[in-house]
Amino acid sequence: MQENDSSPGVQPGLRYPMMEVTMEKQPRCKKCGRRLKSPLSIAIGMGPKCAGIKPTSGRSVRIQSKPRSRTAYSDKTLVQVQAPLFTGELPKKGLSKRELFHRRREERRRLFETRLPFQCGLVLPARKPLVYTPLEDGSWREDYSGRVISHERLQQYLVRFRFI
């Protein structure tokens, strides 16, 4: 390295092998030296003629860039291990719609038979949950409207519309 470099913009005592591109200088073509204006040409470092890209050739070049956060992180913060949120075994693949439907139906059937509150769907204009709560006399109360339904009538309804 040379100690006596007095060019403007260069720190004394340091020698730079490549010229740093700044916004003050216009980028130039590596081959012919013309000024580059389009972002594609600037990314390639050559103009379309020197790069062999003609408008009629049919070749197209795309530049894909990822947005940067512009934040520098140290290596220590990147190497954090998160504790697992679920300790059991995870399913290998997602369940199909049919399988989800069958599981929900079986869960409703189990709750109905054990006389526990269960949700049967949504009341559409208000999009409120339709929940049935068991009463002590053996009947069920619909939480949305407060209507009381006998056990047999609710069972007929749920079987007819395939809720259980």
44 assigned to some structural domain: yes
Q: What percent of the chain has pLDDT over 70?
A: 62
Farthest-apart Cα atoms in the chain, separation: 101
116 assigned to some structural domain: yes
Q: How confident is the model at residue 84 (pLDDT cuts 50, 70, 90)?
A: low
Q: How confident is the model at residue 40 (pLDDT cuts 50, 70, 90)?
A: confident
Question: pTM score, two decimals?
Answer: 0.44
Q: Does residue 140 register a pLDDT over 50?
A: yes
110 assigned to some structural domain: yes
Domain with 48, as residue range(s), is 22-55
88 assigned to some structural domain: no
Q: How confident is the model at residue 156 (pLDDT cuts 50, 70, 90)?
A: very high
Q: Does residue 131 register a pLDDT over 80?
A: yes
89 assigned to some structural domain: no
Which own/partner pairs from 106-112 qualify as long-range (CB within 8 Å, at least 24 positions apart)?
108/158, 108/163, 108/164, 109/164, 112/154, 112/155, 112/158, 112/164
> Exposed e or buried b for every residue in 113-146, given b needs 16+ CB within 10 A?
eeeeebebeeeeeeeeebebebeeeeebebbeee
